Amino acid sequence: MTRISSLFFDKLDYQLLQIVDDVLKRGTKSRAFRSLFVEYMHPHGIKEMAAPQGLRIAYAVISLLGSFENGMARDRLKALRSLRDEVFLSSSGFYRKNTARVLLQIMKKLVRPGNSELNRLKLAHDFRMVSAGNPRKIRKELAKYHLVEMPEEWNQYAFDDHVHDANTKGRKSPTHLIMDAWIKGIREITVVYYNYVRPQVIEELLEAGNILDIKVHVGIELSARFRNKFVRFTWEPNVLSDTTSFQKFMEKERVIELFEEGREVSRYQQKYVFDVLNEFNSRHSNDIGKQLDLKIPVLDQDEFIGFVGTGQPSILHLGRFIHNKLAIYAEDKGETKLTPAQKELLRTLTVRTIIDEYLAPAKNPQLHDPAEPHKDTELPELLRCNINELMTRLLRLHSSSKFTLNLANLTAQDTLELLYDGGGMITHIEAYNLKDICVDEQRTQLTGQEKHYKLIGRLQKALNEDSVITLKSAIREIIYDYDDQLEKLQAGSEAEAFKAMQRRKPELVAILSDLEKFHTIYRKRSLRSRIGSGSTGQAEHRHGMGFVVLDTLPARARKPFYRNSCGEGCNRIPVSALMTKSVNSKVGLSRRELSRLPEGKAGRQVKWTLDSFKIHAGKSGNIGTLGGLHVQPDNSVESKRETDSLGNSWNYLNTNIKNTAKVLLGFIPAFLTFFLTKDWWLLSYFGAVIWFAITGSRNIIQSVLGGGGLRRSPLLPWNSLVSWSRISDSLLYTGFSVPLLDYLVKTLLLDNTFGVTTSTNPILLYSVMGLANGIYLSSHNAIRGLPKGATVGNFFRSILAIPVAVALSGLIGALLGMAGIPDATGILQKWAAIISKFASDGVAAFIEGLADRQANIKARIAGYKMKITQLFSVFSKLDLMFPEEDVLEMLQSPKIMMRTLSKEARDLEKLIIVNALDLMYFWLYQPRSRKALSSILQSMSREEWLIFYRSQLILKRHKEISQVFVDGLVGKDFSKALSFYLDQSPQYLADMEKLGKR
């Protein structure tokens, strides 16, 4: 790998890139990497010594984005679970969830093929910088990838009621889809399948949702006869949201029969796709070939099926398949052999253009469109049913099923009839779908489809308001619209269409006459709305998945939606969500539980509940889109040439150089202030050095105090706890505080203007300086994007430092007086700014050090609790496996236990070893782990302590555990981890024994 320049990027950036390349080269089936997914291995445990975080995240992402082969679902779910732990537990600071979202997004781009070396280096550097948890950097990266900042409480109302995965016409596996939904911030999602779904697909989908805490619904889209068209609706059996009962439901004979009929419908619809492919080969490919002067080979149907993979072949798949092939053919021919006109044509041949110009039914009239009903004897039985027959059959399968009517090809009159005839079986209408809006935006203006949506919205509102008068008015309005359509047909001399529509009017009037029955249908149940994107992850000029109710976002994240300055990533749709906000107090929680809540939320929990959606066409509401417009790159050879540049080169400057520059930038104003305003050589030449030494020492003391203090583990040297980038940031900003505090405040304002000095009024002097320092600290903290709690805290800690500064000044003055030094007050006046600075940083080192200490203890407690839960789970399994044995007694003798487990429970033996190694690593390498474990032990019973302690006695079996390392417990690079185990396990077990005695 060639280096770009020594001025840019860090050694660790190149190492991360090499790690990713190694993972990509060796693939997801590498035994060395697969061992990192061993159950119960903690991200902050023993595997830290064998594989860096970047490798583990990269391998997990590649495993997720990779194979759709049968049997790979389990591996994808393992990867997702490991990925969740890696990004959740590695993110620190105030923005853990938002940091984790950005880390996943960057790694997805980093492992994607086709990036230049410079771009990959930029991504590697961004990944490392985001890992540090800088709020400003995180927000910048969120905006860069069109990701909306979500509340850390993770209580946003973000959803999508209609998306597709790779098992229909999407491109993502169920696990990949759920991961992307979590990255976008979605908390509730409905995945729609055509005609049928396989049990293993639902199992993967629901399990992935459980891992990332996303509420997943499964919908089956079916078609039914209605007049001269097919009506589409989505069936959502509630049982499929329950992971424990869906298998029993899928095993029902009637469900199996239904899905077999659904497969027949899919085969019937897919036959049309293959017919269009043949038609393209015979006619359209020649036309394109002549225009581009290309010889386009016959497209192979089997290759197309392989391209589709596990999904159901569709016209969208075919359009993408042809688009990709044309790109390959053009690239083979070469850019220089294409004329400007041919390049322009190739550029305009997007997936959508190919579909519209060559694959649409209007371009192939000799083929019958399966979306249009006809008297074909080969028509599948399921497509012969009307909507009421089909929904009645589905209700027999599950009585609490929900049915969502798709309005894409329906008029207001169609919807009125269907709702009336359905007798209340239709529970939802898909009132808004981004796919239909994008496709039909121009057609809507021409045909008045928008007016139909308005009429349907009024009808829905009337039904839900339980008002006969409003319902009557809505129905009459729909009938009046029908009369307008009849008049237009009559004026246009379309006699046959006019007669057909005229015969329908009495049926609409009959609904008005039977108003009481229609009103009664929805009196006890609301006709609710669904809002979906129809996202497939591969359609061009389409919004990606996801919506969010803006009221549930932080104020900072809402602003771009309302000022329309966020580009394609955040548009508001003409729908409003009526929400109920409930605030629950944490009165019943302990102090420890309260301390684990997000910053500023320790006393309350905010929950949002959806009441209803309100559609208002033409006027933006309070719902924003989470996905930007996906634009497919064109086919031109020129478009393949990537232009690389560093962009903002400061962001990618070598960290050592950047930190040095920050320190120098801050040192210059500090030095000049002392040099130009002080006549005493010590302050003139060394005042800035002293000022910087105070700030640097404060940061180091704070870090060491937070990480364990003087009683920390011997394997944790003090400098391993210090962030030099954090210190350089502090030195940058503290340098500019010197002219503010020493010259502007102390000299010009207080001394020269008001005559306030250490001799006249020391309390007022230090109070004003402390106040000024607090305002300056809060201001630059806000500029750096730190949370409000930290900003306010830094203001008040400067106020708290005022009495310390006064006392320190008095003490120094007394010592100078006792030493007989003349003009002690004059000396104190010269040193007043440094005394104030020393007091402020001393208070900060203590307060922020304690805050870091608490943060580390909380992180360690969370890690220990996870491991202890796993440890007790293994113990429970042993109890069940050996009901006649005293398992606790068996743990006392590791030799007997391993001999027993090696015969009957080898997997449990490995889990016990993993738990013991992780716990040992915690104790010796994780900051404040000793305090955290001591705190947890106070709430343990004697039996629980014995289980905890004796399960770790397995570490005495050096020979057996060494063999486990050699066999690939942490991959092939096990030497460091093995050496750590052999060297430290005796002392660790001795420490545990002492801890138990205490």
Q: Which of 288-297, 404-413, 678-687 has the lowest mean pLDDT?
A: 288-297
Where are the alpha helices (H) located in 601-742, listed in sequence order?
A: 655-677, 681-707, 724-738
Residue 443 predicted with pLDDT over 50: no
In this prediction the pTM is 0.86
pLDDT score at 264: 95
pLDDT score at 1: 47
pLDDT score at 303: 92
The band of 599, judged by pLDDT with boundaries at 50, 70 and 90, is very low
pLDDT score at 268: 92
pLDDT score at 566: 47
The band of 544, judged by pLDDT with boundaries at 50, 70 and 90, is confident
407 neighbors 450 (Cβ within 8 angstroms): no
The band of 530, judged by pLDDT with boundaries at 50, 70 and 90, is very high
CB atoms within 10 A of CB 361: 15
Average pLDDT over the chain reads: 84
pLDDT score at 600: 43
pLDDT score at 987: 92
Residue 445 predicted with pLDDT over 60: no
pLDDT score at 635: 44
Question: Could you read off the pLDDT of 152-174 as tens digits, one per residue?
Answer: 899 999 999 999 998 998 888 89
Distance from C-alpha of 278 to C-alpha of 304, rounded to nearest angstrom: 12
Query: Residue 233: in which H helix or E strand, if any?
Result: strand 229-236
Residue 478 predicted with pLDDT over 90: yes
Percentage, residues of the chain above pLDDT 90: 36
538 neighbors 180 (Cβ within 8 angstroms): no
The band of 205, judged by pLDDT with boundaries at 50, 70 and 90, is very high
Residue 449 predicted with pLDDT over 70: no
Average pLDDT over residues 858-884: 87
Percentage, residues of the chain above pLDDT 70: 88
pLDDT score at 263: 95
Residue 607 predicted with pLDDT over 50: yes
pLDDT score at 598: 45
Average pLDDT over residues 565-578: 72
Query: Residue 543: in which H helix or E strand, if any?
Result: strand 542-543
pLDDT score at 441: 41
Residues 6+ apart with CB under 8 A from 454: 615, 617
Residue 976 predicted with pLDDT over 90: no
pLDDT score at 177: 93
Residue 408 predicted with pLDDT over 80: yes
Residue 640 predicted with pLDDT over 60: no
Start-to-end CA span in the chain (Å): 55
pLDDT score at 680: 86
3-state secondary structure 802-838: HHHHHHHHHHHHHHHHHCCCCCHHHHHHHCHHHHHHH
Distance from C-alpha of 130 to C-alpha of 107, rounded to nearest angstrom: 11
The band of 597, judged by pLDDT with boundaries at 50, 70 and 90, is very low
pLDDT score at 31: 58
Greatest mean pLDDT among 366-380, 622-636, 954-968 lies in 954-968
Average pLDDT over residues 59-77: 73
Backbone angles phi, psi at 653, to 5 degrees: -65, 145
The band of 260, judged by pLDDT with boundaries at 50, 70 and 90, is very high
99 neighbors 106 (Cβ within 8 angstroms): no
pLDDT score at 34: 63
264 neighbors 384 (Cβ within 8 angstroms): no
> Would you list the domain boundaries of the chain?
261-363, 401-532, 653-854, 882-997
* DSSP conformational letter for 8: B
DSSP per-residue letters across 582-636: EEEE-TTS-HHHHHTSPTT-TTEEEEEEEEEEEE-TTS--SEEESSPEE------
Residue 804 predicted with pLDDT over 50: yes
154 neighbors 97 (Cβ within 8 angstroms): yes
The band of 66, judged by pLDDT with boundaries at 50, 70 and 90, is low
Average pLDDT over residues 786-796: 75
pLDDT score at 427: 95
Question: Could you read off the pLDDT of 666-723 as tens digits, one per residue?
Answer: 999 999 999 999 888 899 999 999 999 999 998 888 888 888 776 777 777 877 778 8
Residues 6+ apart with CB under 8 A from 42: 85, 89, 863, 866, 867, 918, 922
pLDDT score at 336: 59
Q: Are strands 158-163 and 547-549 parallel, antiparallel or unpaired?
A: antiparallel
Is the dihedral angle over the CA atoms 8, 13, 14, 17 positive or is it negative? negative
Q: Which of 362-366, 719-723, 808-812 has the lowest mean pLDDT?
A: 719-723
